[in-house]
Amino acid sequence: MLGLMQNWPLTVDKILDHAKSWHGDREIVSRSVEGPVVRTTYAEVHARAKRLSNALKGLGVQPGDRVATLAWNTARHIEAWYGIMGIGAVCHTLNPRLFAEQLCYIINHAEDKVLFTDLTFLPVLLEHRAQMPTVKHVIVMTDEAHMDPAAYPGALCFETLLAENSADCVWGDFDENTAAGLCYTSGTTGNPKGVLYSHRSNFIHTLVTMGQDVMGLSATDTVLPVVPMFHANAWGLAFSCSAVGAKLVMPGMKLDGASVYELLESEAVTFSAAVPTVWQMLLAYMRETNSRPSTLQRVVIGGSAVPEALVRAFRDDYGVSVTHAWGMTETSPLGTLATPTGKIAKMSPEEQLRFTLKQGRPPIGIELKLVNDAGERLPHDGTTFGRLMVRGPFVVGEYFKGDGGEILDEEGYFDTGDVATIDEYGFMQITDRAKDVIKSGGEWISTIEIENLAVGHPKAALCAVIGAAHPKWDERPVLLVKLEPGVDATKEEFLAFLEGKIAKWWTPDDVVFVDDIPLGATGKIDKKLIRERMKGYVLPTAAPAKATA
């Protein structure tokens, strides 16, 4: 027997409809790519997004067509998202930090028909124009005054298209399983693969992530999403902030400490979200200038593990609470958050910190399990390492165009490629990417844990741990350290710093000081490149003993 409630398809255009109707005058403030800080409202964004929908229809965009965006976080980017998705076209977010060759691969694979771009990216687009044959129109997200016909001959102007089209456009009216967005994984192994979100998956992700124990967003919040809309959907904030009517502050292309701080203060931001490196830059700026945030209450940090020093600095020096989050492109992206349970909330701040440093627990809609290589379930005892598997209504079912084949196990779980533990409180902790974990004498060593401890050394700017071949143990850890500018340090200093904090057999066999620790396009340490650079490296503990004369 079916229920008799209304059929109200969960399509994301309804989110912006709601924002217009009930929070119409709530502001969206952007640091524009042209320079000045500009202000608009949900009502204006709604009307402009509808104009854009009509413009896209005029350019021949049909339901299901892919329309790409290559853009920073601004109100115009939000208008493009809703304008595309509202008419059943698919918004394909492109990550400008990818190499041009990867961008071309992705654009061709997605068969993008129209491409929205910020002024910033016109040179690279022009240079590779011939390699993007499917792209029929390029729309520059600016006004006539900033259009330079020579920068990209034939490009269309965003503001002109808006002026030429009416705001009278019907949105939605299609199946909630219709594709809404497309985002490619960064392709650290093989070619990038496309994750094709549906309206329904985005809508459910929005409802889940608004919740108090997840992002905990409210109409009274002012939110600064530093996390880019081009990677993992800005953690859903363009949807969830519209859904609750939070004021949005969009940082544009300036993500340095000074620029982020300026917006935090000038717009009285209460909540922000970003990867650890952004927060490190902000903290460095605040220390240098002896400034402190006056309205900021909470930051969500994810994308890579949060170092303890970062949580302590926010909590103890600035009174800002940190929520650690884990997720991936394939999970829309939020998967777990380290918000306290009733039991944890009763613990002392020091005890609670132990849980904040873990990646956290799943909200409703995310199911997790740990398995061994044979696919058998492992206990949630906080110490057993296993492959982290996930399923739920906003988790990938298959990649775009079937790339990678069957990606779910027989129970419908997706293998995240992460290795993790889950403790008796239900808190998951990522110990490694499966491909980075060090296997020493048959036991696993977590590179992430060592890195996060080592980076707490006052002389360390960035640390990475990789496995190096060892004749007896298969692999042993090597710690690579990029020092703060102008300081010297010794291997012994770092090893002494780690002593007592990790198991003895986890202690790196060597410490190598390097000028650079490379980061990939999504801000994570690029271990593949580090391993390439360290190809000829031999562990001192593995080198054959020198012959004595």
Q: Which parts of 223-242 interact with ligand ADP (CB under 6 A)? A: 232
Q: Compute the distance between CA of residue 90 and CA of residue 178 in angstroms, rounded to an integer.
A: 9
Q: Which of 444, 491, 524, 528 is catalytic?
A: 444
Query: Is 439 among the catalytic positions?
Result: yes
Whether the upstream peptide bond of residue 149 has omega within 30° of 0, thus cis, is no
* Backbone φ/ψ region at 27: left (φ over 0), alpha (ψ -120 to 50), beta: beta
CA separation (Å) from 400 to 42, 181, 330, 403, 421? 32, 11, 11, 6, 30
Write phi, then psi, for 330 (nearest 5 degrees).
-70, -10
- Please select the residue that binds ligand ADP; options are 146, 433, 491, 531, rule is CB under 6 A: 433
Q: Note if the bond before 544 is cis, omega within 30 degrees.
A: no
Residues 6 or more apart in contact with residue 526 via CB below 8 angstroms: 188, 518, 519, 520
Q: Which two tokens stand for residue 337?
A: 């958050």
Residue with smallest beta-carbon separation from ligand ADP: 328
Structure tokens at 341: 């349970």
In degrees and rounded to multiples of 5, residue 478 shows phi and psi of -120, 135
Residue with Cβ nearer ligand ADP (13 or 432): 432
At residue 425, the 3 state secondary structure works out as: coil
3-state secondary structure of 434: coil
Q: Residue 487 and residue 493: Cα distance in Å, rounded?
A: 13
In the complex, minimum distance from the CB of residue 412 to ligand ADP, in angstroms, rounded to a whole number: 19
**Binding track over 296-335 against ligand ADP, x by CB under 6 A:** ------xxxx------------------xxxxxx------
- Asked whether 237 and 273 are in contact (CB, 8 A), the reply is yes
Annotated catalytic residue within 79, 176, 267, 330? 330
Q: Which of 346, 439, 459, 501 is the catalytic position?
A: 439
The residues near 64 (Cβ < 8 Å, ≥ 6 apart) are 88, 89, 90, 178, 179
Q: How far is the CB of 181 from ligand ADP (least distance, A)?
A: 14
What's phi and psi for 122, nearest 5 deg? -60, -40
Q: Site for ligand ADP (CB under 6 A): how many residues?
A: 22
Exposure of 486 by Cβ count < 10 A (0-12 exposed, 13-18 middle, 19+ buried)? exposed
The answer to whether 208 and 214 are in contact (CB under 8 A) is: yes
**Closest residue by Cα to residue 204 from 80, 73, 366:** 366
Contact map string, positions 372 to 411, toward ligand ADP, x by CB under 6 A: ----------------------------------------
**Binding piece for ligand ADP, criterion CB under 6 A, among 173-181, 308-316, 413-421, 477-485:** 413-421
User: Among residue numbers 349 through 368, which ones bind ligand ADP (CB under 6 A)?
Assistant: 359
From the CB of 431, what's the least distance to ligand ADP, in Å? 9
The nearest distance, CB 230 to ligand ADP, in angstroms, is 11
> Which residue, 127 or 532, is less far from ligand ADP as judged by CB?
532
Contact string (CB under 6 A) for ligand ADP, positions 170-209, x = contact: ---------------xx-x---------------------
Please tell me whether residue 418 binds ligand ADP under the rule CB under 6 A.
yes
Catalytic, 185? Answer: yes
Angle at 44 between CA 43 and CA 46, to 5 degrees: 65
Query: What is the distance between the alpha carbons of residues 336 and 103, in angstroms, rounded to a whole number?
Result: 29
Does 416 bind ligand ADP (CB under 6 A)? Our answer is yes
In the complex with ligand ADP, the residue whose CB is nearer, 84 or 325, is 325
Tell me the residue ranges of DSSP E strands in 134-211.
137-140, 156-157, 179-184, 194-198
Q: Where are the beta strands (DSSP E) in 303-358?
A: 321-327, 334-337
Question: What distances in angstroms separate CA 200 from CA 4, 18, 183, 205, 327, one per listed residue?
Answer: 20, 16, 16, 8, 19
Which one among 33, 430, 437, 438 touches ligand ADP, defined by CB under 6 A? Answer: 430
**Cα 433 from Cα 83, distance rounded (Å):** 37
| Binding flag, residue 340, ligand ADP (CB under 6 A) | no
Q: What is the distance of C-alpha 370 from the center of its chain?
A: 23
Per the annotation, the verdict on 34 as an active-site residue is no
Q: Is 527 a catalytic residue?
A: no
Catalytic residues: 185, 330, 439, 444
Binding residues (CB under 6 A) for ligand ADP: these are 185-186, 188, 232, 302-305, 324-329, 359, 416-418, 430, 433, 522, 524
